[in-house]
Each structure stands twice: as structure tokens, then as C-alpha cells.
Amino acid sequence: MRATLMALALFLAMPARAGSDVTIRNEPCCEEQRAAAALSPEAKVIAAIPEQAFREGSVLWLRLDGNRSAQIVDCAAFVCSVDNFRWHKLVAWWPKHRYYVIDVGLYEGRHAFLISERDGRSTPVFAPPVLSPTGRYAVAADLSPAYGNGLQIIDMSVDPPSTLEVISQPTCSGDKAMSLRPTPVWLDDSRVAFEGKPFFDNDDPREKQVFRIIDGKPEWEC
């Protein structure tokens, strides 16, 4: 109710307009715009599974078993309160597991979830996960120091998937504080390395940032 009242207040505070807001631009329409839209990451995913997914403006449709569908609606207009603001992008389809991967952008920060094609059940995760080579595990990393959710292991061998937050940090540097690099890369089906430029300038590229999953739990290697 409070969010609805806030949205109504924002709407009433907007200046009145005599008509539609039409802007004339000195550029042609519409092939270039259509081509750019077709090259978006989500458009590429949808193009690969046209019988399963469809984007209609702010609405994402996903096919489910039993002649049903999941409908996900963005709320990114000015009438959305800060708490309700979010957009959704289909970033991957995992055919082996029959899960859709949805990236969710918030007013501040992000999260993601997996949607089962079987029954539409959703599993919240920290960020769009990266699958291991065999699909046994996935890792979700959202390591932004401001609004990041952290690091998470997802066990895809059970349904629904189970999740485990990784609290520990690499220990190879001893007491020396280091930032975890932002991009997880699978070395094999149980070992994950972290690559890329960290958010803080305290990274030593010689230091190893690799963990091994043993019985579903991480152990940092040195």
C-alpha cells in the first residue's frame, strides 16, 4: 500500500503536459534501430529458443510445461518506487537442467533467479551463475563493494537447486588484505579461478585465487 501511495504521489508531482511528448531527430528510422535491438544479448538468447521465450516491450514470456507460461514484467518507469524498480533480462537457457537464467537490475544493485521450465518455480541467486563444464555446479559472483551480494555456489544436481554462500576469502596472502577478482572461470568441474581487475588496487597478480568444491563446500587453494 505504501509503495502504491508513493507511486501515486510521484505521478501527481509530474508537470502536466498538454499533449504527447514528441521529439524530432535528425536520423533515419528504422533499420539501424531494429538491427541494434536484434544484437542485444537477450535478443540473441531468445532467437536461439524462439518457441520458448518472447519479449513484448516490458514483458518477458517464458514457456512452461503443461501449456502454461511465466510472465515477468519490468517496472522501470517513473511511476515505480525505488523499492519496486527492476528490469529483467533472459541471459541464458540451460537445456540440460531446463532452467531459464534471469538477470534482475534494481535501482541500486542487482540479483538474479533461475526459473524451472517444468513448473515455473524460481530459485533466487546472487547474480547470473556460470555453469561448470558438466553442469554439476554453478557459481554466482556479485562482488561489487557497494551493493554486491557476494559469492555463491549452486548445486544443480538437486531440484530445486541448493545454494551456499561463500563467506571465506583466499588465504594464500596470509594477513595481507586482497580483493577477490570479479570473474569466476571454471578450470574443471570442481575448481574455480577468479580473474579480471578487482574493485580495489590491492591485487597482486602473482597471488592465486582458486577454490575447489569438496562435498559441496569450497576450499581455497594455495
Q: Tens digit of pLDDT for each residue in 70-123?
A: 999 998 766 677 778 889 999 999 999 999 999 998 888 889 999 999 999 999
Q: How many CA atoms lie within 13 A of 100 on its CB side?
A: 31
Quick check: 90 and 46 in contact, CB under 8 A? yes
Handedness of CA 165, 145, 174, 201 (dihedral sign): positive
Quick check: 173 and 207 in contact, CB under 8 A? yes
Q: pLDDT tier at 177 (50, 70, 90 boundaries)?
A: low
SS3 61: strand
The three cell numbers locating residue 90: 533472459
Three-state SS sequence of 146-158: CCCCEEEEEECCC
Number of H helices, E strands in the chain: 3, 15
Across the chain, what does the average pLDDT equal? 85
Q: pLDDT tier at 172 (50, 70, 90 boundaries)?
A: confident
Answer yes or no: pTM beyond 0.85: no
Quick check: 127 and 141 in contact, CB under 8 A? yes
- Per domain, the residue ranges of the chain are 40-221
